[in-house]
């Protein structure tokens, strides 16, 4: 069975307060069964981790992941959520946060990414939270489900993460905080790969694999 396909990503919305919203209308067309990801990155230099709320109708994959500088000072957090479209997607998704922002203000970013397949399943995910390193290695992933799509979500305080070899950049945007999403379709397995371009102020990544499995339960491992 072919791999789930990348469809579209919304633009990144930003706020300097404790909430950020992403409109479903940022995606051209949402079909029932589409797999939607909501990716949130928050800069909070010298603040505290706090919490990032899970929006109603969405499920957390990982929340939160933190990134710190070489002195272990917190510089930001990020969270990743998913939703299987059911035809009720309208208006905006609101995400709230708590915790000290630190003394340098904040930039609260969010975007939504859309993938389409036949009952897409998230089979595995890997989280890396790093301090002052320029590269992160995503471990090899093996599965027996035909072709799959590997997706990397990267959040950092500054700079721009590079797309790993063989991956296509879906979006790379930000200012005081930065969001990047990369994907690779049609892989029979996801070998070990290195993401580079990380900030000396710290960065975090979530790498996962999705595949089509009609008739099977949706799972997150």
Between CA 78 and CA 138 the distance in angstroms is 18
pLDDT at 220: 44
Q: What is the DSSP string of 54-121?
A: PPTT-EEEEEEEEEE-TT--EEEEEEEEEEE--S---SEEEEEB-S---TT-EEEEEEEEEEE-SSEE
pLDDT at 95: 92
pLDDT at 145: 55
Contact between 198 and 156 (Cβ < 8 Å): yes
pLDDT at 14: 86
The count of other CB atoms within 10 Å of the CB of residue 97 is 22
- Judged by DSSP in three states, 168 sits in strand
Q: Provide the whole-model pTM.
A: 0.90
pLDDT of the chain, 221 residues: tens digit per residue: 678 999 999 999 988 778 899 999 999 999 999 999 999 988 777 666 667 889 999 999 998 888 777 777 777 888 999 999 999 999 999 998 876 665 555 678 999 999 998 878 887 788 887 666 778 888 877 665 567 899 999 988 777 778 888 899 999 987 778 899 999 998 876 667 877 766 667 788 899 988 887 544 444 44
Question: How much of the chain is in helix, strand and coil states, percent to nearest 5?
Answer: 0, 55, 45
């Amino acid at each position: 069975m072919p791999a789930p396909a990348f469809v579209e990503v919304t633009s990144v919305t930003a706020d300097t307060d404790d909430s950020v919203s992403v409109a479903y209308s940022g995606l051209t067309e949402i079909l029932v069964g589409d797999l939607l990801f909501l990716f949130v990155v928050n800069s909070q230099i010298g603040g505290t981790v706090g919490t990032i709320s899970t929006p109603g109708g969405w499920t957390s994959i990982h929340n939160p992941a933190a990134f710190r500088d070489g002195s272990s000072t917190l510089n930001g957090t990020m969270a990743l959520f998913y939703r299987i479209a059911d035809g009720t997607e309208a208006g905006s998704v609101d995400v709230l946060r708590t915790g000290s922002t630190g003394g340098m203000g904040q930039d609260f970013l969010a975007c939504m990414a859309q993938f389409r397949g036949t009952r897409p399943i998230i089979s595995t995910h890997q989280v890396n939270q790093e301090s002052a390193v320029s590269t992160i290695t995503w471990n090899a992933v093996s599965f027996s489900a035909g072709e799959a799509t590997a997706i990397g979500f990267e959040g950092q305080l500054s700079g721009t993460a590079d797309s790993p070899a063989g991956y296509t950049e879906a979006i790379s945007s930000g200012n005081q905080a930065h969001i990047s999403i990369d994907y690779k379709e049609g892989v029979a397995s996801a070998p070990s790969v290195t993401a580079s371009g990380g900030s000396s102020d710290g960065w975090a990544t979530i790498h996962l694999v999705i595949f089509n499995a009609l008739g099977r339960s949706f799972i997150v491992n």
